Amino acid sequence: MEQLLSILIGIGLSATCGFRIFVPLLGMSIAFHAGALNFAPGFAWIGSWPATITFGIAMVLEIAAYYIPWVDNLLDTIATPAAIIAGTIATASMIGDTTPFFRWSAAIIAGGGVAGLIQGTSVAVRGFSAASTGGIANPAVSTGELAASILGTVLSILTPYVAIILFALLLSMIMRQLSNRNKAKPA
């Protein structure tokens, strides 16, 4: 049961990496310092003070960049692979006492996959916002993503079951929208 809980925490944190890369990493580091989170062997560096400071600085820069119209769209080209990597690391760091094969398979498939799906959806929403409003609505999109990342990080650490349910609902809404969009396209 403890292993399942660790996997759920990792997947929840990975999903938040799809909204903002450094918010969940900083949240993990702070939670470690507060004694609310432990890492799998080999991942203690996430909770080190240099990592905490680095994640904090990177988070501030990432948040600021997403509020600059058109820079936010450019940032998405870098953020997409970085979100997948961060999501993979977030999940791998939570899965302890198992084989490396299972840890990394679950981390890549579940962690990196969910981070990539959320990030890809975020890129599409931002692209639509930029195209339809000339970028004027992008700060509102950025604020929503930041709120989702902060809330998702906190919920993933404190109440992972609730976080997973919310992310599952979000993913089902995304999939439904994509399905409806594909049905509406003429063949």
Residue pLDDT, tens place only, 60-91: 999 999 888 778 778 888 899 999 999 999 99
CA gap 12, 14 in Å, rounded = 5
Q: What is the dihedral of CA 164, 165, 168, 170, to 10 degrees?
A: -110
CB 164 within 8 Å of CB 111? no
What are φ and ψ of residue 52, in 5° steps?
Answer: -60, -45
Q: Would you state the pLDDT for residue 82? A: 96
- pTM metric for this prediction: 0.86
pLDDT at 178 over 70: no
CA gap 183, 143 in Å, rounded = 30
pLDDT at 187 over 60: no
Q: Under the phi-then-psi rule, with left for phi > 0, alpha for psi from -120 to 50, and beta for the rest, what region is 14?
A: alpha
Q: Would you state the pLDDT for residue 185? A: 63
CA gap 136, 7 in Å, rounded = 38
